[in-house]
Amino acid sequence: MPSIKKPKYVDDTIVEEEDNRTLEDLVKEVPLEEFLECKETREILQNEAYWKFESKTKYKLAKIYSEFNNAFGNDVIFKKDWKNELGELIADIVYEHTADKFDLTIFHQCPELAAPVFK
């Protein structure tokens, strides 16, 4: 990979200095805020966070909903969902009202995804 030239100031004169850091090293130095400011990387982080929620938590919330519906379903609560079809909808509502936990390791493992940040 070619080295990145970084300006160095010496006596008010710009001197080019070689920066031999790899793309992986550069990505590890980027804070979360910069990833969130860039549209492409923000979408990657949001999709990754939702995928993790969907694979680890959503089915648990749907199951809890179903169990409560079966245990407490009556004419007042859950009366329109006798087939337990709304569990995933409830899980999505919960997701929308919780904070995303963004994981930057996706960019550490595949630095090419972070390229839009450096444009």
DSSP, res 73? -
Instruction: Please measure the distance between the N-terminal and C-terminal CA atoms of the chain and give it in whole angstroms.
Output: 17
pLDDT for residue 3: 47
Amino acid, single-letter form, for residue 30: V
Q: What is the pLDDT of residues 49-69, one digit of tens each?
A: 999 999 999 989 888 888 877
Domain boundaries, the chain: 22-118
Regions of the chain where pLDDT drops below 70:
1-19, 74-79
CB 117 within 8 A of CB 88: no
Distance CA 38, CA 114 (A): 9
